[in-house]
Amino acid sequence: MQRALTGVQPSGQIHLGNYLGAIQPALNLQKQHDTFYFIADYHALTSVQDPTLLRQSGIEIAATFLALGLDVEGSATLFKQSSVPEVCELAWILACCTSAGTLDKGHAVKAARDGGREINAGTVFYPVLMSADILLYGSNIVPVGRDQQQHVEIARDLATRVNHRFGEGTLVVPTVQVQKEVGLVSGTDGRKMSKSYGNTLPLWLPAKKLRKQVMRIVTDSRTVEEPKDPDTCNVMKLYKLFGSTEQIADLRGQYIAGGMGYGVAKQALYEAIDERLEAPRARYEELISLPVRVEEVLQAGAERARQAAKVTMTRVREATGLG
Protein backbone atom coordinates (compact mmCIF):
# COMPACT_ATOMS: atom_id res chain seq x y z
CA MET A 1 0.00 0.00 0.00
CA GLN A 2 1.40 3.40 -0.98
CA ARG A 3 1.90 6.06 1.66
CA ALA A 4 0.10 9.41 1.38
CA LEU A 5 0.78 12.44 3.54
CA THR A 6 -1.15 15.62 4.29
CA GLY A 7 -0.71 18.42 6.81
CA VAL A 8 -3.01 21.03 8.35
CA GLN A 9 -1.96 24.23 10.07
CA PRO A 10 -3.57 24.84 13.49
CA SER A 11 -4.64 28.44 12.96
CA GLY A 12 -8.10 29.97 13.16
CA GLN A 13 -11.59 28.54 13.59
CA ILE A 14 -12.49 25.70 11.23
CA HIS A 15 -15.41 26.48 8.92
CA LEU A 16 -17.46 24.71 6.27
CA GLY A 17 -15.10 25.87 3.53
CA ASN A 18 -12.18 24.12 5.28
CA TYR A 19 -14.28 20.99 5.75
CA LEU A 20 -15.43 20.71 2.14
CA GLY A 21 -12.25 21.95 0.46
CA ALA A 22 -9.52 20.32 2.52
CA ILE A 23 -10.59 18.04 5.39
CA GLN A 24 -13.02 15.76 3.56
CA PRO A 25 -10.66 15.16 0.58
CA ALA A 26 -7.86 14.39 3.05
CA LEU A 27 -10.02 11.89 4.92
CA ASN A 28 -10.88 10.14 1.66
CA LEU A 29 -7.21 9.19 1.30
CA GLN A 30 -7.38 6.63 4.10
CA LYS A 31 -9.63 4.38 1.99
CA GLN A 32 -6.78 3.37 -0.33
CA HIS A 33 -3.51 4.51 1.28
CA ASP A 34 -1.31 4.20 4.33
CA THR A 35 -2.00 7.75 5.50
CA PHE A 36 0.04 10.14 7.61
CA TYR A 37 -1.75 13.31 8.84
CA PHE A 38 0.26 15.89 10.72
CA ILE A 39 -0.69 19.07 12.54
CA ALA A 40 1.81 21.62 11.27
CA ASP A 41 2.55 23.49 14.47
CA TYR A 42 6.14 24.40 13.45
CA HIS A 43 4.74 26.03 10.32
CA ALA A 44 2.07 27.83 12.35
CA LEU A 45 4.77 29.54 14.43
CA THR A 46 5.50 31.82 11.47
CA SER A 47 2.23 33.63 12.26
CA VAL A 48 0.79 32.25 15.52
CA GLN A 49 2.97 33.01 18.54
CA ASP A 50 0.45 32.65 21.34
CA PRO A 51 1.35 29.36 23.07
CA THR A 52 -2.13 28.79 24.55
CA LEU A 53 -3.80 29.39 21.19
CA LEU A 54 -1.31 27.13 19.37
CA ARG A 55 -1.88 24.24 21.78
CA GLN A 56 -5.66 24.60 21.77
CA SER A 57 -5.83 24.90 17.99
CA GLY A 58 -3.81 21.69 17.68
CA ILE A 59 -6.28 19.83 19.90
CA GLU A 60 -9.22 21.22 17.91
CA ILE A 61 -7.73 20.13 14.58
CA ALA A 62 -7.03 16.64 15.92
CA ALA A 63 -10.52 16.34 17.44
CA THR A 64 -12.03 17.51 14.15
CA PHE A 65 -10.31 14.81 12.12
CA LEU A 66 -11.23 12.15 14.66
CA ALA A 67 -14.85 13.28 14.87
CA LEU A 68 -15.18 13.24 11.09
CA GLY A 69 -14.01 9.66 10.81
CA LEU A 70 -10.21 9.43 10.80
CA ASP A 71 -9.45 5.76 11.49
CA VAL A 72 -6.39 5.78 13.73
CA GLU A 73 -7.04 2.12 14.55
CA GLY A 74 -6.60 1.32 10.87
CA SER A 75 -4.34 2.86 8.24
CA ALA A 76 -4.26 6.45 9.54
CA THR A 77 -1.50 8.04 11.62
CA LEU A 78 -2.26 11.40 13.29
CA PHE A 79 0.50 13.38 15.01
CA LYS A 80 1.94 16.82 15.70
CA GLN A 81 4.80 17.94 13.47
CA SER A 82 6.82 19.06 16.48
CA SER A 83 6.64 15.59 18.04
CA VAL A 84 9.06 14.31 15.39
CA PRO A 85 12.28 16.36 15.84
CA GLU A 86 13.95 14.53 12.95
CA VAL A 87 12.02 16.83 10.63
CA CYS A 88 14.24 19.75 11.66
CA GLU A 89 17.40 17.72 11.10
CA LEU A 90 16.30 16.74 7.61
CA ALA A 91 15.24 20.33 6.90
CA TRP A 92 18.80 21.52 7.64
CA ILE A 93 20.30 18.90 5.33
CA LEU A 94 17.85 19.92 2.59
CA ALA A 95 18.62 23.60 3.20
CA CYS A 96 22.26 22.89 2.40
CA CYS A 97 21.10 21.67 -1.02
CA THR A 98 18.72 24.59 -1.68
CA SER A 99 19.51 27.84 -3.45
CA ALA A 100 18.49 31.11 -1.79
CA GLY A 101 16.63 32.11 -4.95
CA THR A 102 14.29 29.14 -4.62
CA LEU A 103 13.24 30.29 -1.16
CA ASP A 104 12.56 33.86 -2.23
CA LYS A 105 10.12 32.59 -4.88
CA GLY A 106 8.09 30.52 -2.39
CA HIS A 107 4.34 30.99 -2.05
CA ALA A 108 4.66 31.68 1.68
CA VAL A 109 6.94 34.67 1.05
CA LYS A 110 4.73 36.00 -1.75
CA ALA A 111 1.57 35.64 0.34
CA ALA A 112 3.16 37.44 3.30
CA ARG A 113 4.48 40.20 1.05
CA ASP A 114 1.11 40.66 -0.70
CA GLY A 115 -0.70 40.70 2.63
CA GLY A 116 1.66 43.21 4.18
CA ARG A 117 2.68 40.75 6.88
CA GLU A 118 6.09 40.33 8.48
CA ILE A 119 8.44 38.12 6.49
CA ASN A 120 10.51 36.35 9.13
CA ALA A 121 13.20 33.73 8.53
CA GLY A 122 10.66 30.99 9.23
CA THR A 123 8.46 32.29 6.42
CA VAL A 124 11.40 32.18 4.00
CA PHE A 125 12.39 28.69 5.22
CA TYR A 126 8.80 27.41 4.90
CA PRO A 127 9.26 25.40 1.64
CA VAL A 128 12.35 23.62 3.01
CA LEU A 129 10.57 22.55 6.17
CA MET A 130 7.58 21.45 4.10
CA SER A 131 9.91 19.43 1.88
CA ALA A 132 11.28 17.77 5.01
CA ASP A 133 7.71 16.97 6.11
CA ILE A 134 7.06 15.27 2.78
CA LEU A 135 10.35 13.41 2.43
CA LEU A 136 10.90 12.31 6.02
CA TYR A 137 8.21 9.63 6.00
CA GLY A 138 8.93 8.14 2.58
CA SER A 139 5.67 9.51 1.19
CA ASN A 140 4.81 8.19 -2.27
CA ILE A 141 1.85 10.48 -2.90
CA VAL A 142 1.20 14.03 -1.69
CA PRO A 143 -2.29 15.27 -2.58
CA VAL A 144 -2.55 19.07 -2.64
CA GLY A 145 -4.64 21.87 -4.07
CA ARG A 146 -3.22 23.79 -7.01
CA ASP A 147 -2.06 26.59 -4.71
CA GLN A 148 0.25 24.15 -2.86
CA GLN A 149 1.60 22.28 -5.88
CA GLN A 150 4.78 24.38 -5.91
CA HIS A 151 5.83 23.07 -2.50
CA VAL A 152 5.64 19.44 -3.59
CA GLU A 153 7.55 20.24 -6.75
CA ILE A 154 10.29 21.78 -4.58
CA ALA A 155 10.33 18.61 -2.45
CA ARG A 156 10.65 16.48 -5.58
CA ASP A 157 13.49 18.65 -6.84
CA LEU A 158 15.34 18.46 -3.51
CA ALA A 159 14.91 14.68 -3.26
CA THR A 160 16.30 14.30 -6.77
CA ARG A 161 19.20 16.61 -5.94
CA VAL A 162 20.04 14.72 -2.73
CA ASN A 163 19.89 11.39 -4.56
CA HIS A 164 22.19 12.71 -7.27
CA ARG A 165 24.75 14.01 -4.76
CA PHE A 166 24.65 11.26 -2.16
CA GLY A 167 23.33 8.18 -3.92
CA GLU A 168 20.14 7.00 -5.60
CA GLY A 169 17.50 5.86 -3.15
CA THR A 170 18.60 8.14 -0.32
CA LEU A 171 15.18 9.80 -0.43
CA VAL A 172 11.88 8.70 -1.95
CA VAL A 173 10.85 11.06 -4.75
CA PRO A 174 7.12 11.65 -4.17
CA THR A 175 4.39 12.05 -6.77
CA VAL A 176 2.26 15.17 -6.57
CA GLN A 177 -1.46 14.53 -6.84
CA VAL A 178 -3.40 17.70 -7.60
CA GLN A 179 -6.78 17.26 -5.98
CA LYS A 180 -9.95 17.80 -7.92
CA GLU A 181 -11.24 21.26 -7.15
CA VAL A 182 -14.27 21.23 -4.86
CA GLY A 183 -15.22 24.56 -6.36
CA LEU A 184 -15.92 27.83 -4.65
CA VAL A 185 -17.55 27.41 -1.25
CA SER A 186 -19.68 30.53 -0.87
CA GLY A 187 -19.73 32.45 2.37
CA THR A 188 -22.75 34.13 3.91
CA ASP A 189 -22.21 37.19 1.70
CA GLY A 190 -21.65 35.32 -1.58
CA ARG A 191 -17.89 35.76 -1.66
CA LYS A 192 -15.51 32.86 -1.07
CA MET A 193 -15.92 31.61 2.49
CA SER A 194 -12.93 33.01 4.36
CA LYS A 195 -12.06 34.09 7.87
CA SER A 196 -10.56 37.28 6.43
CA TYR A 197 -13.99 38.25 5.04
CA GLY A 198 -15.85 37.39 8.24
CA ASN A 199 -18.41 35.41 6.20
CA THR A 200 -17.87 31.88 7.48
CA LEU A 201 -20.16 29.23 8.88
CA PRO A 202 -18.05 27.66 11.67
CA LEU A 203 -18.04 23.88 11.42
CA TRP A 204 -18.91 23.04 15.00
CA LEU A 205 -21.59 25.60 15.83
CA PRO A 206 -24.39 24.19 18.03
CA ALA A 207 -27.57 23.59 16.04
CA LYS A 208 -29.42 26.72 17.18
CA LYS A 209 -26.47 28.99 16.47
CA LEU A 210 -25.91 27.32 13.11
CA ARG A 211 -29.52 28.01 12.12
CA LYS A 212 -29.17 31.64 13.20
CA GLN A 213 -26.05 32.05 11.03
CA VAL A 214 -27.67 30.36 8.03
CA MET A 215 -30.67 32.68 8.29
CA ARG A 216 -28.28 35.63 7.90
CA ILE A 217 -27.07 34.55 4.45
CA VAL A 218 -27.43 37.45 2.02
CA THR A 219 -30.08 37.10 -0.71
CA ASP A 220 -31.68 39.48 -3.20
CA SER A 221 -34.92 41.40 -2.58
CA ARG A 222 -37.33 39.32 -4.67
CA THR A 223 -40.72 38.77 -3.10
CA VAL A 224 -42.22 35.42 -2.14
CA GLU A 225 -44.37 35.35 -5.27
CA GLU A 226 -41.56 36.05 -7.74
CA PRO A 227 -39.52 33.27 -9.39
CA LYS A 228 -35.90 33.20 -8.23
CA ASP A 229 -32.60 32.25 -9.86
CA PRO A 230 -31.15 29.11 -8.23
CA ASP A 231 -27.88 29.52 -10.13
CA THR A 232 -26.96 32.86 -8.55
CA CYS A 233 -28.43 32.44 -5.05
CA ASN A 234 -25.94 32.11 -2.19
CA VAL A 235 -28.26 29.74 -0.33
CA MET A 236 -28.61 27.36 -3.27
CA LYS A 237 -24.85 27.35 -3.92
CA LEU A 238 -24.31 25.92 -0.44
CA TYR A 239 -27.32 23.62 -0.59
CA LYS A 240 -25.82 21.88 -3.64
CA LEU A 241 -22.91 20.79 -1.42
CA PHE A 242 -25.12 19.19 1.24
CA GLY A 243 -28.46 18.14 -0.28
CA SER A 244 -29.14 14.89 -2.13
CA THR A 245 -29.70 14.91 -5.89
CA GLU A 246 -33.46 14.66 -5.36
CA GLN A 247 -33.51 17.40 -2.72
CA ILE A 248 -31.50 19.76 -4.92
CA ALA A 249 -33.83 19.17 -7.88
CA ASP A 250 -36.90 19.76 -5.70
CA LEU A 251 -35.61 23.01 -4.21
CA ARG A 252 -34.47 24.20 -7.62
CA GLY A 253 -37.99 23.67 -8.92
CA GLN A 254 -39.41 25.77 -6.09
CA TYR A 255 -37.01 28.60 -6.94
CA ILE A 256 -38.08 28.65 -10.58
CA ALA A 257 -41.83 28.28 -9.91
CA GLY A 258 -42.08 31.15 -7.43
CA GLY A 259 -44.29 31.20 -4.36
CA MET A 260 -41.36 30.36 -2.06
CA GLY A 261 -39.63 32.79 0.29
CA TYR A 262 -35.88 32.65 0.88
CA GLY A 263 -36.59 31.65 4.48
CA VAL A 264 -37.83 28.27 3.21
CA ALA A 265 -34.59 27.73 1.27
CA LYS A 266 -32.47 28.75 4.26
CA GLN A 267 -34.36 26.34 6.51
CA ALA A 268 -33.75 23.54 4.00
CA LEU A 269 -30.02 24.43 3.92
CA TYR A 270 -29.81 24.47 7.72
CA GLU A 271 -31.48 21.06 7.95
CA ALA A 272 -29.16 19.56 5.33
CA ILE A 273 -26.03 20.87 7.06
CA ASP A 274 -27.25 19.84 10.50
CA GLU A 275 -28.13 16.33 9.30
CA ARG A 276 -24.61 15.91 7.90
CA LEU A 277 -22.88 17.24 11.02
CA GLU A 278 -25.13 16.18 13.90
CA ALA A 279 -23.35 12.92 14.75
CA PRO A 280 -19.80 14.24 14.11
CA ARG A 281 -20.61 17.32 16.22
CA ALA A 282 -21.53 15.12 19.17
CA ARG A 283 -18.27 13.19 18.79
CA TYR A 284 -16.30 16.42 18.53
CA GLU A 285 -17.87 17.87 21.68
CA GLU A 286 -17.03 14.67 23.56
CA LEU A 287 -13.42 14.71 22.34
CA ILE A 288 -12.83 18.39 23.03
CA SER A 289 -14.07 17.89 26.58
CA LEU A 290 -11.43 15.15 27.03
CA PRO A 291 -8.22 16.65 25.62
CA VAL A 292 -6.13 13.99 27.37
CA ARG A 293 -7.72 11.36 25.12
CA VAL A 294 -6.85 13.41 22.05
CA GLU A 295 -3.29 13.84 23.28
CA GLU A 296 -3.00 10.06 23.70
CA VAL A 297 -3.99 9.58 20.06
CA LEU A 298 -1.43 12.19 18.97
CA GLN A 299 1.28 10.58 21.07
CA ALA A 300 0.59 7.13 19.65
CA GLY A 301 0.70 8.62 16.16
CA ALA A 302 3.97 10.39 16.93
CA GLU A 303 5.59 7.11 17.95
CA ARG A 304 4.62 5.50 14.66
CA ALA A 305 5.72 8.57 12.69
CA ARG A 306 9.10 8.61 14.45
CA GLN A 307 9.69 4.99 13.49
CA ALA A 308 9.18 5.90 9.84
CA ALA A 309 11.35 9.01 10.27
CA LYS A 310 14.21 7.01 11.79
CA VAL A 311 14.31 4.67 8.81
CA THR A 312 14.75 7.66 6.48
CA MET A 313 17.24 9.48 8.68
CA THR A 314 19.44 6.42 9.17
CA ARG A 315 19.74 6.20 5.41
CA VAL A 316 20.31 9.97 5.00
CA ARG A 317 22.96 10.13 7.72
CA GLU A 318 24.90 7.25 6.21
CA ALA A 319 24.68 8.71 2.72
CA THR A 320 25.78 12.22 3.73
CA GLY A 321 28.59 11.12 6.07
CA LEU A 322 26.79 12.19 9.26
CA GLY A 323 26.10 8.62 10.37
Residue 111 makes CB contacts below 8 A (sequence gap 6+) with: none
| pLDDT score for 252 | 97
pLDDT band per the 50, 70, 90 thresholds, residue 179:
low
pLDDT band per the 50, 70, 90 thresholds, residue 178:
confident
From 23-32, 181-190, 200-209, the region with the lowest mean pLDDT: 181-190
* pLDDT exceeds 80 at position 104: no
114 or 227, greater pLDDT: 227
Span 226-231, average pLDDT: 96
pLDDT band per the 50, 70, 90 thresholds, residue 138:
very high
| pLDDT score for 176 | 84
Confirm whether 3-184+291-320 and 195-284 share one CATH topology: no
Span 190-217, average pLDDT: 94
From 43-57, 89-103, 183-197, the region with the lowest mean pLDDT: 183-197
What does residue 291 show for φ and ψ, rounded to 5 degrees?
-60, -25
> Which superfamily does CATH assign the domain made up of 195-284 to?
Tyrosyl-Transfer RNA Synthetase (1.10.240.10)
Q: Are 135 and 159 in contact (CB under 8 A)?
A: yes
Span 81-98, average pLDDT: 96
Residue 202 makes CB contacts below 8 A (sequence gap 6+) with: 13, 14, 15, 16, 213
| pLDDT score for 312 | 98
* pLDDT exceeds 70 at position 64: yes
> 14-52: buried (b, 16+ CB within 10 Å) or exposed (e) per residue?
bbbbbbbbbbebbbebbeebbbbbbbbbbbbebbbeeee
From 125-134, 175-184, 289-298, the region with the lowest mean pLDDT: 175-184
What mean pLDDT is reported for the chain?
A: 92
What is the percent of the chain with per-residue pLDDT over 70, rounded to a whole number?
96
* pLDDT exceeds 90 at position 149: no
3-184+291-320 CATH, one of 2.40.10.340, 3.40.50.620, 3.40.50.300, 3.20.20.70: 3.40.50.620
Span 89-99, average pLDDT: 95
| pLDDT score for 207 | 97
| CA separation, residue 188 to residues 4, 15, 91, 240, 266 (Å) | 34, 12, 41, 15, 11
From 143-152, 216-225, 257-266, the region with the lowest mean pLDDT: 143-152
Provide the residue ranges of all domains of the chain, joining segments of one domain with +: 3-184+291-320, 195-284
Span 156-176, average pLDDT: 95
CA pair distance 291, 63, nearest whole angstrom: 9
